[in-house]
Amino acid sequence: MLLPAHRGRRIRGKELFRRMVRETALSVNDLIYPMFSAFGTGIKKEVTSMPGIYQQSIEHIVAEAKEVQGLGIPAVILFGIPETKDAVGSDAYAEHGIIQETIRAIKREVPALAVITDVCLCEYTDHGHCGIIRDGDVDNDATVELLAQEALSHAQAGADMVAPSDMMDGRVGAIRDILDNNGFAHIPVMSYAVKYASGYYGPFREAAESTPQFGDRRSYQMDPANRLEALREAQADIEEGADIIMVKPGLPYLDILRDLRNEFALPLAVYNVSGEYSMIKAAAANDWIDEERVVMETMLGFKRAGADLIITYHAKDVARWLTR
Ligand code: PBG
Ligand code: ZN
């Protein structure tokens, strides 16, 4: 009888061997935790579709930021829910806007935590689009000017990094330019370089109260069918000065993550978005899956596909599971 020369099971037979030949590792240093800051005081409201995730006023955000830092997670990414919204998203670039005040509070109380800010207008416009509207569509160049103002105001409030998520053309260059010209040449830009028009953002829009009031985001976010376009988008952002590039959503776009890893030498981030979180939480709540096992497998999948950084609502749980 011919015996197999290759027996893959030999090296899988003992946990010690499995540890020795393991190719991918996940670390707490890879994690970024998203938080939703709401105007007011005494607010801590759980997002219905995202168990464990809250809209919170600043004092609660600060308390959670301390917890996050204590778990060894290096950074948070902030989203704001302003007191009032208008057609041009004024609160987004106001000196005392919701995010600007949140940044100041976190940097004052938890200086050892890196504060990254999401730069976009959809949380601040009354129509819910990511820019200002002209003739029924988002006006690219006028929006880019406001996004640059927004990024600058975040840096002035003390943000450590800015992350434009709007998908306007030329915004990374405009943000780089305004930061450089105002004494913030050292502030990195993490670009949502490859962001698809996705149904997986549904729960986030409840959390950030940013659902478009008409139409959808397909004239600026990418078509889920496209792969080469992702390379063009990433290339453009890198040429404009992006320091970190991101793919979003995560799980349905692991091929894109791998494409970018193979093509570019920049640090690569992935956004494990709200809908991906909600699906795992819902299945786990029904005891249909083992939450810890599935979450850790998902995180490892991102790393194996090429991600350096993972923005995830699971970050606190992952940090705890990693140190157990
Ligand atoms: C704002 C923004 C969105 C997300 C991050 N930044 C929503 C959107 O584009 O509709 C989604 C994050 C998530 O679903 O967890 N442009
Ligand atoms: Zn937006």
Amino acid 276: pLDDT: 98
Ligand closest to 206 (CA) is: 1
Could you report the per-residue pLDDT of 70-121, keeping only the tens digit for each? 999 999 999 999 999 999 999 999 999 999 999 999 999 999 999 999 999 9
Catalytic site positions: 195, 248
Atom of ligand 1 nearest to the CA of 201: 14
pLDDT value at residue 134 = 95
For the stretch 294-307, pLDDT in tens is 999 999 999 999 99
CA of 6 to the centre of ligand 1 (A): 47
- Ligand at minimal distance from the CA of 146 is 2
Residues with CB under 5 A from ligand 2 (ion): 120, 122, 130
Give the side-chain half-sphere CA count within 13 A for 170: 10
Share of the chain above pLDDT 70, in %: 100
The domains of the chain, with CATH numbers, are 24-323 (3.20.20.70)
| 158 has a pLDDT exceeding 90 | yes
Name which of 40, 197, 210 is nearest 118 in CA terms.
210
**Rounded alpha-carbon distances, angstroms, from residue 123 to 164, 166, 181, 228, 306:** 13, 11, 27, 30, 30
Q: Has residue 322 got a pLDDT over 90?
A: yes
* Confidence bin at 1 (pLDDT 50/70/90): confident
Q: Which residues lie below 8 Å from residue 30, measured CB to CB, with a gap of 6+?
A: 299, 303, 307, 308, 309, 310
- The closest of 192, 270, 204 to 30, measured between CA atoms, is 270
The predicted-structure confidence for 247-297, as pLDDT tens digits, reads as follows 999 999 999 999 999 999 999 999 999 999 999 999 999 999 999 999 999
Q: Which ligand is nearest to the CA of 124?
A: 2
Closest by Cα among 270, 130, 291 to 205: 130
Question: What pLDDT, on a 0 to 100 scale, did the predictor assign at position 51?
Answer: 98
Would you say the CB of residue 118 lies under 6 angstroms from ligand 1?
yes
* Residue owning tokens 């010209």: 181
19 pLDDT above the threshold of 90: yes
Ligand 1 pocket check for 55: Cβ under 6 Å: no
Neighbouring CB atoms inside 10 A of 45's CB total 14
State the Cα–Cα distance between residues 105 and 1, nearest whole angstrom.
72
Q: For a substitution probing ligand 1, which of 81, 138, 204 has the most ligand atoms within 8 Å of its CB?
A: 204
Q: Is 313 near ligand 1, meaning CB less than 6 Å away?
A: no
Give the model's confidence band at 50: pLDDT under 50 very low, under 70 low, under 90 confident, else very high.
Answer: very high
Residue 100 neighbours by CB under 8 Å, 6+ apart = 94, 153, 154, 156, 157
Q: Is 105 in the pocket of ligand 1 (CB under 6 A)?
A: no
Give residue 176's pLDDT: 98
Taking the C-alpha atoms of residue 225 and residue 78, their distance in angstroms, rounded to an integer, is: 29
What is the overall mean pLDDT for the chain?
97
| Backbone phi and psi for residue 241, each to the nearest 5 degrees, phi listed first | 110, 15
Q: Please report, as a single letter, which amino acid is at residue 46.
A: E
Q: How far is CA 127 from CA 24, 124, 133, 158, in A?
A: 43, 9, 9, 29
What does the pLDDT look like over 189-248, one tens digit per residue? 999 999 999 999 999 998 888 999 999 999 999 999 999 999 999 999 999 999 999 999
Gap from CA of 5 to ligand 2 centroid (Å): 55
Whole-model pTM above 0.85? yes
Cis peptide before 249 (omega within 30 of 0): yes
Q: Where are the beta strands (DSSP E) in 39-100?
A: 44-47, 50-56, 75-81
pLDDT at 324: 82
- In 10 A of CB 212, how many CB atoms? 15
Tokens encoding 33: 């935790």
